[in-house]
Structure formats: C-alpha cells, structure tokens
Structure 1
C-alpha cells in the first residue's frame, strides 16, 4: 500500500512536469470527429443496399413492428370495454379485488381524459418493449448471478447500457433502423433491461448459503438447485426487477416519441413544445396509470403468496366473459365521455408561478432558492473540481475507489476519468459531475430518510407507493416545464427534476433491503436491549449494505439521465452537447459527449459500487 502510494505520487509529479498542472492537456486528446463522420456517411450511403441492413437489421425491425402491430390489433379488436375487462380480470386473478378496482378506475380515467387511442398505442409498444427487456435482463442477470467471471464481465456492459443517455444512442439507432416503432422499442430495451439484470444477479448472488448447502447435501444437481432454491429465494428481487423495468420503460415513452413512436409520448412531446402544461399532464397521467396497473398486476403474487393456483376452467370462463363484453361494446371510447383538464391545469400553474416564484416572506420564492442553490452549492463545487490539476483529479479518484474496492476497481475508475480527458470533454464533464454529485447527495439524504419509515411500517409503504409510482413514471419531460416555471432556466431546475425522478428508486431499493434483514439478527438486537435507532445503525444498515450500494448506483444513473435532459432548459455542460448533437444530426458530437457521460457514470459507479471482495480488502 505504501509503495503504491509512493509510486502514485512520483507519477503525478512526472505528469505535472511533462504536461502541466492545469486542465487536461491538449496533447493528450484524440479527435474522433473525422472517423465518426465517415461512419455516419457510410451508414447513410449503405442503409438501403448493404446485406447487413437488408437481411439482419431489417428482419429485427420487421419482427418488432409485427409484434407491436399484433398487440395493437388485439387491443383494438377488444374495444375499450374488452380491454378494461381483460385488465381487470388479470388484476383480480393475480393481485386481488382491490387492484382490480384500481385497474378499472385507471383505464376509465385514460378514456375520460380523451387519451384512449394513444393509450392503446403506447400499451402495445410497452408490452413488447417490457417483455423483451425482462427477457434480456433476466438472461443477463442469470448469467451474472451464477458466475463471478460473467458478473465482472457484464458489469461494465450494464453500466454502459444504463449510463449512456437516451439522446446519445437515439442517433445511431435512427441511423440504422430509421424513424418509427422499431428504434423506439430497441432504445427502450437498452435503457430498461439493466435494472432487471442487476436485481436478478443480486437475488441469485445473495441466496442463503445454508439453504444451498442443504439442497446440495440432498444430491441436487446445479439445475435443480437453481430451480428449487436460488430462483424461489430470489423471487422478491426478480419481482422488483420487473417493477423497475416497467417504470423505466414507460419513462422512455416521451423520449421514444422523438424518433417516431406514436402514442402518449408523442402527445406529451407536442404539448411541451408549445409550453402547454395542461395538455402534457393530460397525456402524462395515463402513462403513470399504465405503470401503476402493470406494477400492481406483475407484483401481485408477492403480496398474495398463498393464493391458490387458477384452473384452466376459471381462466376459460374469464376469457369468455371478456370476449362477450368485447363483442357487445363499442370499439372506441365514446367522445361524449371525456373531460378537458388542460385549461384549469394551465390556470393553476400560472397561479403557482405568480405566488411562489418571488415574494414569499422569510423563506423567499423559488427563484431565490434556485439562485442560492446555484451560487452556494453548484458554482463552488464546479469551480473547485475544475480548479483541481488534472493529475490531482485522477489521484483523488484512485484514492476514493481504492478505499472501498480493489486495485482493479481503482484502475477502472482512473481510466474512465482519463478517457473523458482524451475525448476532449474535461471541463464540461466536471461541470456535469458537479451537478450530479450535488443532486445525488440530496437524493440519497431524502431517500434514506423516507425509506426507513417505509421499511418499518406497512401502512406507510401503502400510502407512499402510489406517490412513488407517480414520481418515477411521470415522463421526465413533464417535470421540466413546471420546474422551469418555478425555478427559472439554468442548472437548478435540472437538479430538481433529477432529484424527483431518482428518489423513488432509492426509496424502493433501500426500503426493501432494510425490511429483508435477517429476522434472527433483529430479534437478537432487541433481546439485548438495542433501541430502534441502534437496530437501524448497527444491524439493518450493515446487513443491507448491498442494497444500499445498489440504491446509490441507481441514484447516479437516474440523476445522470435527467441532468442530460436538463440541457434543454439551460443545464449546459454535456447535456447540452448531447441534445445539440441529436438536433443537428451530428453523430460525432452526440456520441463523443455520450461516451464522456458513460465514462463519468462508470467512474462514479466504481467509486461507490465495490465488489464484495474489494470491500473486504479495503476494510
């Protein structure tokens, strides 16, 4: 350890002597604009003639389009009453009558808001995207959960898939697959599959060793151990993975509309382009309701572990009832059964802005909060990071990563940060880093504070669950306009939207980790007279360490994704470059900035997500 520290100091001194101590030296940068520009031109020239596009990408695109069209055709054939009845039937069978009532009310609201047809288009796209995301994520998680080597190999892949901002990979996807449904589904899968993979691997790798030894002692094969012990014991993590995949897939609905995906996302995008918060909310609410319904149905078995197996006769009877309802009802929602909420919502938004933006006694208005957050937190943090010598920043990252991980972890973090400098995005990346660090810190403080009562009280969990669903599934774009109206244009509104969006995932993962702590350990702590706070600090938090680190990881990823979108509202830095590259169709600008964001996310991940072995080594 001492020798390594001495070597690092010597290398830092040599680097300072050769390339100076300021920002990243231009002599160590690489210009990728020319090769990426050539790749862009080659794709455009060969997209309609090369065999790779005609016989490989073309078939993938065709299969996706056919799948979405088939689901949409079925939904249209069922009609509004048939779809509602089918959803209610599934909810009742899997999650009970209360969720069935929620499902009926949710689909009714979608119709009342005049969004029935866009809702069906979004539902068809999401069914295919979520199914593909769950399948891909489960397979990757299964491989990572059963093999340490595969886990280490897949980890940077998952980091890249989830950290790369959607705007960055929309451009290459559009270049290859064109505009429409296929690129929208593929972009959603890239974004939504990693949580399923991570949680599947976490569930399999955290299986009780005693249970596995007991099953193995009975002569079970590897496959039998997987099917009878590891997968059943990882059931909660698997269901949480499905939940997170659904949430993240639906959060992509608006972004996917940028590249031609029709439905609710397109309505939100069009409304926000005219700063019409009311119309955007009218289309955003059905997205939230779809997420709530899908979440309740897919996780219903977790809340009903003793539910008896449904027979074929029961399912056939239910299907027959749905068919009869579909035949007897109209196909589209009656136009006379609609409510217009755009005008009152816009009026309420204007009132809030008029009364909260400035002039509040003592505490000041939201404009003052935004200015103070920027001047007291963001600016000093950004200036401090940019004032560091480039080799000093690398050394600091190496120390932080090594304190909680292995030398391999530290090396990966340093290389990721160095790659940002090589790409020529050093100062802008540090600006983005300051925004991410500040927003993640606030998110974790709030998330851990909320997760404790959620983990300890079933009533609190039930009360907060719909709120968390709304916050996590409401499209990021919907947050931006009211946030900008309240906080003005700049980095503060991007941070506010990022905190609101990332908070639910932190609360969910943390609360689940705290609630699943070994009951024996908790009972032992109570029998020794430990107070509630001591149980939390000395038992629950240490035993839920893996879940807490995963929560930190998800906070970093989700905050990054919204900070990038914040480039649309004055966030600047890498977010602006990514959005600007997509708007101009500039593959080089968008991908280079996107690659810098991936490196930034990878560096933050390695500084906060050490392997178990690395944690022991650093202890």
Structure 2
C-alpha cells in the first residue's frame, strides 16, 4: 500500500512534457515517442478512411523520384521526339500494297471479291422487293408488323411515319437506305450474336473480345472508312461493311451479357436433368437472354441508322447522300427534308423493337382478336395482308409515291434559316448576335483552355490524369488512363490532341450545365418531361450532318460551331440519364426530408442529388463519350485538330494521317472514360473504404 501510494505520488509530482510523456523527454523511447506514435496512428486512420489520399501520397512519392529522372533524360515541356514512333512509312507501304494487289491477289479475288458480290446482290434484292411492293405495300407492312408486336396505336404511328417519307418527296431514297440498312443490320446481328455467343460461353474469349469491341465502338467511323474503301472501293459493299463494324458491338456486348447473367438456379436445374451443353444453350440460356438480345437488336438498328449519312461519303446513296449533297451546297431545307425520314425510320424501328422486348412479359391474350395477333397466326396474317395490299397497288399501277402528294418543305425552311441568319447572326442589339457569342466563347474559353493544356509539361499532364483516375478508381484504371494519354504522344500527335481535348472539355462543361438544369426541371415536372420527350427523340436520332448546317449558319465556321454541334448531340443523353436518376431516388428518403420541414430546394440539394450521384456520374461519362464522337464532324466545320486530320486522310487517301488521328481519338476516349467513370474497388480498397 505504501509503495503504491508513493509511486502514485511520485508520478503525480513529476512534470509532464507537452506530449504527456513524463519529463517531456525522459521516456525510454526517446523524445516525443508517444506523440509520434499518436500522429502515426492518426495518419493511418485517416488513410484507412480515405484510401484515395494514400494513393495520391504514393503517387507523389513516385513523381518526386521519376520526374527529375525524366527531365534529365528528356528536357522540355513538349512530348519528347525521342519517344515518338513514325507510322507513316509502314502504313504507307500497306496502303500501296493494297492498291497494287487489289485486282490480282487471291485474297481479294476469292474472299473480298465474293464478299463484295454477296453484299451487292443482297442489297439489290431487298431494294427490288421493296420497289415491287410499292408504297402501299411497304406502308401496310410497316403498320402490320407494328400491330403484330404492340397493337393498334403503334401500327398507326408506323404507317403514318413511313407515309411521311413519301410526303417529304424522299420515297425512293428512303427505300435505298432501308434496303441497305436491312442487309447491314442483318449482318451486324449475325456477327454480333456469334461474337457475343463466344464471349458469353468462354471467359477467355470474353477477356480477349472486350478490348476489341471497345476499339470498334470508340474508333471514329471516318477512321475505318479509309481502309474499307482501300479494300472494297467506293460503293455499297464498303458502306455496308463499315456499318457492320460500327453497329455489331452492341449486339455482341448484350448477347454476352444475357448469356453470362442467366439464372444460376435454372441452369443448375437443367444440368441436373442431364442436358448437354447444346441443349442447355438452346433451351435455357438463349430463352433467358431474350430481352438482352432484343435490346441488342434495338441498339444495332439505331447505330446502323446513325451511319447512314457517314456511309454516304463512300457511295452508300439514299437519304445519306441527299443530306451530304445538301451540306455541300448549304441547303438547310433539302438537308432537313432528307434527314427527317431517317428520324422517322429510327423512331418506328426503335418503338417496334422496344415493344417487342416489353411484350415478352405480357401474359397470353385471352380475346379472339388478341389470339389472332399473337403467335404464328399473327405473322401469317401480316404476310397475307401485306401481300394483298401490295398486289392491289400493282393492279392499280401505283407503285411509286404520287407526285401530287408531295409537300415541299425546303423553301419555308430555307426562308426561316435566312431570317435567323439575318437577324440573329449579327443583328441582335445590346447582347450581340450569335457570331459575337461564338467569337467571345472562342476568345474567353477555347483559346485559354487550349493554351493552358499545351503549355503544361507533358509529365504534368500524365500526373494529373493519374491523380484523377486514382481518386475515382483503382491502380489499374490509372495505369490504363496514363498509358492511353502517353500513346498519343508516342503517335506524334500531342499538340493536335490537346487542341481536341480543349474542345471536348469545353463542350462537356456546357453540356453538363444545360443538361443537368434541364434534367432537374424534367424530373420535377411530369408535364415538362412529356413536352421534352419528342424533342429529345428528334435530336437523338437526327443525323449529325443535318444540324451542322443551321449551326454553321448561326455561328459561322470555327471551333465554336464544332463545340455547339457536340453539345446538341450529347445533350439528349445527359438530360435523359439525369431525369431518370432523379426520378429513381427512394421516395421514403424524400418523404423523410419533407417531414423534417425541408424545402423543395433543400430536398433537391441534400437528398435527390446525393442519392442520384451514380446516375449523374454516368451522365458525365456519356456526355464525354458522345462529345468525342462528334470530333470528326466538327473537323468539317472548322474544328481542326484530330477531326480535320481524319477527314483529310479520308479525302486524300492518306492511310497514315487518317488512322493515326483516329487512333489518337480512341486513346483520348479511353483516357476520358477512365477518369470519368468510377471503377469498383476490390480487395484492400473495399476494406479500407
């Protein structure tokens, strides 16, 4: 007792240091040992709570070591010439070899030649069939197929939409485009389904095909038009095959997704019954994946139609060629008259395939009319009725659309555009016209942004990209983003790529400001959303070339109209995703906020926006990807940089310039995708989070 008391007294009488250690520096561990341990423990706890901070600290350590070494070896701020690879010689040699051997080599004579002939015969056969059916037969067939899939309302929509193609005076070009799209979509579905089947049944093939599909989907269409033209020449085969390359990936991805996500319980039950692998595929996997397959068909059709105008550059003809010719002569009315049928076809095909997918969950029809419409009887009725209408049209001698039923919209549209150009381009008092806005946007936003990016040292940009990718993803994400950006320098297009990047960042910023504001308004008002939906449908399906013309008329030629075109193209997706994300917020959370007296603005800021964070990040990601997709189109209206290089390469037959610029755009897209789309953390990251 005495010893203990003495000890206690002695301990209590000793002076304590600033860290609470007896004597401040007399502990066995040296001066401030306990304080250092506490600080280390606090830092470790902070790093466990915020794993991204630890990654950034580690990145800073690596940068402190590697940057001085890099500057010693490669001084300067521009990407070092020693780290570039000149691909012009090998790509030029490949182009020369193709041109020299296209008419004599067995590969072209007995493979590409037969493939080209098959495409030509298929497209011509479908086109002649559509012409033989006449306008009445085609219109009736469209309405009857829609009736078989979804009912009377969609049938009327389909029939009226197809008839409007004739009213606009575009019946023959519409049939040309439709025949090419039917063959291209059929080939895309077959190729995509086979690739998806392989990826869905084999993990190894899935890992191999994923980067291939990524490249096919991100590579600008203009970039692979050039090698396709070199092999097949100008004409329908090149247009169809370019469309297949562009439209097959969605079918492949969704087929693989449907097969890989098949219900495990059902598959186990089928396996326990002794079914072979082929039987499991035909009786279980494919039926369970029907929705994904139909969604893949829907996306393939939409992407094939979006290629209609681009494919016209290499001889596809049809509506795309009319739009392209109107663009060359700056005829907005003619471009709109040719572009609207593409929109109408897209709306009809989109609604029909979407209705087919949703119809899989409907119970069997009970009425006599419903039973007639469903099953094989429905398809038999469609075929018989369409054949009778087509036969009646032939007897009446009315195969072509009557000229007296054509409405000329080109003149009033051109008059409206002329008025807008005269009064809005430079004639708006006080606030200035659209030409002034474009000039100010270029001077105050695009020029400083481009100058800032190009002034940054190359290693600093790599570090910024790595830091952004680490904050929202994993080490693998950051490594992919950094390698993608470094590949741009290796290709020797560092400065034009930064010019393109500045335009993309500016367009994304404008798109997000307008898109988030519009999406919030649509989510808070059902009436506003209903009014906005048809507008978004039109903007999402209208060919990019069509709205380039009014953009140029209003803003002139330069980087600003290229940004405006990108904003118009990407805005519908951002608005839709934002609206859907806000509407899907848990109603219980909103009710709880209202019960606590939160105002409408507080509910939006403190409940809806935080809970809709994943959807908003997806909107950001899709905005970036879609803006980048218009880079090539922007090159046609003065955007310059990589877009101009791709178009120049196609126009001049310069494989090196076109493909290198296209590959740089792919790398930009990959880098931007990795720094805008969060990656699920695994292992230690998840535990630390």
The structure 1 residue matched to 2:379, chosen from 315, 321, 338, is 315
- Segment of structure 1 superposing worse, 143-152 or 16-25: 143-152
The structure 2 residue matched to 1:79, chosen from 128, 134, 137, is 134
Bigger radius of gyration among the two: 2
- 1:224 to partner: Cα distance: 9.1
Q: 1:51 is matched with which residue?
A: 106
- 1:285 to partner: Cα distance: 0.9
Q: 1:95 is matched with which residue?
A: 150
Within 2, Cα distance between the matches of 1:231 and 1:528?
A: 43
Aligned CA distance change for structure 1 residues 47 and 550 (closer, same or farther; 3 Å): farther
Give yes or no for contact 2:295–2:357 (8 Å, CA) kept in 1.
no
Do structure 1's residue 437 and structure 2's residue 505 form an aligned pair?
Answer: yes
- 1:149 to partner: Cα distance: 5.7
Residue 24 of structure 1 aligns to a residue in which SS? coil
Q: 2:631 is matched with which residue?
A: 563
The structure 2 residue matched to 1:380, chosen from 448, 459, 467, is 448
Q: 1:160 is matched with which residue?
A: 215
- Segment of structure 1 superposing worse, 184-193 or 77-86: 184-193
- 1:314 to partner: Cα distance: 3.2
- 1:463 to partner: Cα distance: 3.9
* RCO higher in structure (CA 8 A, sep ≥6): 1
Aligned CA distance change for structure 1 residues 615 and 89 (closer, same or farther; 3 Å): farther
- 1:611 to partner: Cα distance: 3.7
Q: 1:107 is matched with which residue?
A: 162
* RMSD of aligned alpha carbons: 3.1
Aligned CA distance change for structure 1 residues 108 and 250 (closer, same or farther; 3 Å): same
Q: 2:533 is matched with which residue?
A: 465
The structure 2 residue matched to 1:306, chosen from 330, 347, 362, is 362
Do structure 1's residue 415 and structure 2's residue 483 form an aligned pair?
Answer: yes
- 1:455 to partner: Cα distance: 6.3
- 1:10 to partner: Cα distance: 1.4
Residue 434 of structure 1 aligns to a residue in which SS? helix
Within 2, Cα distance between the matches of 1:504 and 1:17?
A: 48
Do structure 1's residue 537 and structure 2's residue 609 form an aligned pair?
Answer: yes
1:575-594 → structure 2 map (5 Å cutoff): 575-594=643-662
Give yes or no for contact 1:166–1:561 (8 Å, CA) kept in 2.
no
Give yes or no for contact 1:67–1:128 (8 Å, CA) kept in 2.
yes
- 1:342 to partner: Cα distance: 1.6
Within 2, Cα distance between the matches of 1:455 and 1:237?
A: 27
Give yes or no for contact 2:148–2:378 (8 Å, CA) kept in 1.
no
Aligned CA distance change for structure 1 residues 212 and 251 (closer, same or farther; 3 Å): closer
Aligned CA distance change for structure 1 residues 31 and 260 (closer, same or farther; 3 Å): same
Deviations 1:21-53 (A, max 9, x none): 311111221211111111111000111111111
- 1:575 to partner: Cα distance: 0.9
Aligned CA distance change for structure 1 residues 359 and 335 (closer, same or farther; 3 Å): closer
Residue 569 of structure 1 aligns to a residue in which SS? coil
Residue 608 of structure 2 aligns to a residue in which SS? helix
Aligned CA distance change for structure 1 residues 82 and 416 (closer, same or farther; 3 Å): same
Q: 2:234 is matched with which residue?
A: 179
Aligned length: 607
- Segment of structure 1 superposing worse, 473-482 or 489-498: 473-482
Deviations 1:598-618 (A, max 9, x none): 111121122223543469838
Give yes or no for contact 2:145–2:382 (8 Å, CA) kept in 1.
no
Structure 2: stretches of 5+ with no match in the other structure: 1-54, 366-373
1:25-40 → structure 2 map (5 Å cutoff): 25-40=80-95
Within 2, Cα distance between the matches of 1:144 and 1:514?
A: 34
Q: 2:304 is matched with which residue?
A: 249
- Segment of structure 1 superposing worse, 108-117 or 186-195: 186-195
Residue 299 of structure 1 aligns to a residue in which SS? helix
- Segment of structure 1 superposing worse, 304-313 or 158-167: 304-313
The structure 2 residue matched to 1:596, chosen from 664, 678, 681, is 664
Within 2, Cα distance between the matches of 1:187 and 1:506?
A: 27
Within 2, Cα distance between the matches of 1:200 and 1:461?
A: 32
- Segment of structure 1 superposing worse, 129-138 or 477-486: 129-138
Q: 2:392 is matched with which residue?
A: 328
Within 2, Cα distance between the matches of 1:360 and 1:233?
A: 59
- Segment of structure 1 superposing worse, 421-430 or 411-420: 411-420
Aligned CA distance change for structure 1 residues 354 and 241 (closer, same or farther; 3 Å): farther
Deviations 1:160-185 (A, max 9, x none): 21222221111100001111111111
Within 1, Cα distance between the matches of 2:362 and 2:268?
A: 28
